[in-house]
Each structure stands twice: as structure tokens, then as C-alpha cells.
Amino acid sequence: FLGTMIPYIIYYINDIETHRNEGSKAASQFTKMAIVRWIYAAIVTSLVTPFVYTLEQGENYLIYQVYYIFITELLTPLMTQMMDTGTFYRHAFGPRECTQKRMNMCFQGTEYELSERYTDMTKILFLAVFYAVIYPAGFFFASGIFVAKYWFDKYCLLRTWSPAPRMGPQIAEFSRTYFFPLALAIYAVNAAYTYASFP
């Protein structure tokens, strides 16, 4: 529920704010979505699970929850990209429209946000580094998810998505300057805390 509703809430908040250009608007969306998705994907799971369940075997314990989060992150976005409504508009509604203008509207493609694509990538990376101490296989899952997302996003970019507005390198610079060092710092703190907690 949060994964689908948060972007719409953030889009609404961003429409209220004033931005200099599309790049700063996308960087603002990226910041808000990344913080929220980091919290509910990784941090909330570790907070609601008691510490004694961290390394236990079983369905209700933290290691299996992290495993299921990675599987969900692999399958859910890819399935939603495959169920693109733009394909239905192009093949069912487009040829049956009465005017050329209305038919062209059916062939525009699905809109996408670059900030949301960046947020998905940083969320997967943060999930892998946050649980790296207790679940090192998360790096293999993260690399598999990155490869799958690369190919699906490439297909969607070339075949189904509409062209995005031109924007500068603000998202990439902001992510490189702030979010990746923050993820590594959280990894170091979490690793030190986890190692210190076990006898």
C-alpha cells in the first residue's frame, strides 16, 4: 500500500512547491521518496522484529523477512511494468478511434518519473547494505534485481514509456553526493551495532 500511495502524495506535495526547473523538481521528489522508501523497506522491518529473532530459523524471523523483501522487490515492480495499460490503449483503443488526433493520444506512451527510477535503485542498495551483516546474500539479490531492472527499464524506455522532460544532472549529483555516503555510514553504524550486540 505504501509503495503505491507514497509517490502520489509526494507528487501532490511537489506540485505545491516551487522549483527552478525540472531537474530540481525531480531531485526534490527523489529526496522525499527515497527517505520514505528507505524507512519502510528496511528500517521498519528491523524495528518491529525483536532482536532475539534476528538469526533464528523460521518463517516469522528477520532473515526470512529480508529474503521475502528482496523477492518482492524483484517481482512486484517487474510485474507492474509488464501490465502496462499503454499497450492496451495502443492495440485496442487506438485503431478504433474516430479521429486521428484521438488515435495519436492513445499512442503517447506511459509517463514515468526519473526520480522514481532512482529511488527504486537506491532503495535496493540501501536494503542490501542495511542487512549486509546478517544477510550477505542480499548483495547477490541486489545485483540480480539491478540487472533485471536494467533490462526491463531499457525495454520500457524504448518501447512503452513516453519521452520524459529534459532535465539536468541534479538527481545523479544529489544521489552521489548525499545518499550513497549516507547509505555507507548507516551500513557502518548498523554493522558495528549488530556485531557488538552478539556475544
Does any domain span residue 168? yes
Does any domain span residue 102? no
Does any domain span residue 175? yes
Start-to-end CA span in the chain (Å) = 38
Tell which residue, 38, 67, 61, 33, has the closest CA to residue 48.
61
Does any domain span residue 174? yes
3-state secondary structure the chain: CHHHHHHHHHHHHHHHCCCCCHHHHHHHHHHHHHHHHHHHHHHHHHHHCCHHHCCCCCCCCHHHHHHHHHHHHHHHHHHHHHCCHHHHHHHHHHHHCCCHHHHHHHCCCECCCHHHHHHHHHHHHHHHHHCCCCCCCHHHHHHHHHHHHHHHHHHHHHHCECCCCCCCCHHHHHHHHHHHHHHHHHHHHHHHHHHHHCC
**How many structural domains are present in the chain?**
1
Does any domain span residue 90? no
pLDDT of residue 3: 67
pLDDT of residue 43: 86
pLDDT of residue 1: 63
Please give the residue range of the domain that contains residue 157.
2-84+113-194
Does any domain span residue 132? yes
* Per-residue confidence in pLDDT tens, the chain, 199 aa: 666 787 788 888 888 888 778 788 888 888 888 888 888 888 888 888 877 777 777 777 888 888 988 998 889 888 887 787 777 778 888 888 888 888 888 888 888 888 888 888 999 999 999 999 888 999 999 999 999 999 999 988 888 888 877 877 888 888 889 888 999 999 999 899 888 887 6
pLDDT of residue 92: 83
Cβ-count burial of 27 within 10 angstroms (0-12 exposed, 13-18 middle, 19+ buried)? buried
